[in-house]
Amino acid sequence: MSDAAQPTAAEVRAAAEAVKTALDRHLAAVERRSGEDDPAVSEAFNQLAAAAEAYDELLYDRYDEVTPFEIPGAEDTLPPYAGPEEPNAISVLIRRDYTVAEPQRLLAQAQRVQAAEYDDGGDDDDAAGTVPGALGILFGEFEPDEIASRHKEFGLEEGDSTLWVTAAEEPPEAGEWLAAPFEHIDPQQVVCRFDVSAVFDDEISDDGDDDIVFVDEDEDEDEDVDVDTDEDTDGEDTDDDEELEPLDAEK
């Protein structure tokens, strides 16, 4: 940043004063709170976070220094639940990210599945010969939970994942949301949320404790959020053909 664009010392000090004011307001709101989900506390929290973030940015721009505060982003928090007390319907929204770490392994698995569907081995292997086609074959053949638990066999490497459960008074009409399944989600209807990311593992390792637990991996190992396969399924130290044998394409 050029000298002309840098904030003045007065601007930095004003931002620091804004943080102090926001701290006082937050403490006062906490002391007066009427319950766990008091909106006044939430508002004061958001104001404090905004003031601290502004101060941190100005401090860095002016003096090349940072604060020890970690400011949560808007995507990291949810507003208080305001859905029905006894919901008659729920929706489960899941996102899992993968890296195609071993394209050849992915293609080989898709070709095995395609060959198993035809007695003569199939006449058209164009789909199984491309990564998009192979993904279509495998995700069409196997449940997403099975792919999550066997991702290394499919040449995939897990990234972040999240699972949201939302509540509603009544279930939607059949086919109502199929055109845009992830739009119009009201954050205040979210009952619970479970996130899995290497970022959390790093934070827990750095802090030396595990107070932040997003998912109990032991309990969910055979379910759907984050499942690790055994080391002997890792294709790095074994022959690819030997490791592909356990795949049961008839499942």
Q: Return the closest-CA partner of residue 114 out of 102, 123, 105.
A: 123
DSSP state of 2: -
CA atoms within 13 A on the CB side of 54: 17
Q: What is the average pLDDT across 212-237?
A: 44
pLDDT higher than threshold 60 for residue 218:
no
Say if residue 96 is exposed, middle or buried (CB neighbours under 10 Å; 0-12, 13-18, 19+): buried
For residue 210, give the amino acid letter.
D
Question: Considering the chain, what is the average pLDDT of its residues?
Answer: 78
Return the percentage of the chain with pLDDT > 90, whole number.
42
Question: Is residue 1 pLDDT above 80, yes or no?
Answer: no
pTM value is 0.51
CA distances from 81 to 44, 58, 86, 173, 228 (A): 18, 34, 12, 24, 32
* Residue 89, CA distances (Å) to 95, 113, 168, 235 in order: 20, 36, 5, 42
Q: What is the pLDDT of residues 24-78, one digit of tens each?
A: 999 999 999 888 778 888 889 889 988 998 999 999 999 999 888 776 554 456 6
- pLDDT value at residue 251: 45
Q: Which residue has the higher pLDDT, 233 or 208?
A: 208
Q: What percent of the chain has pLDDT over 70?
A: 71
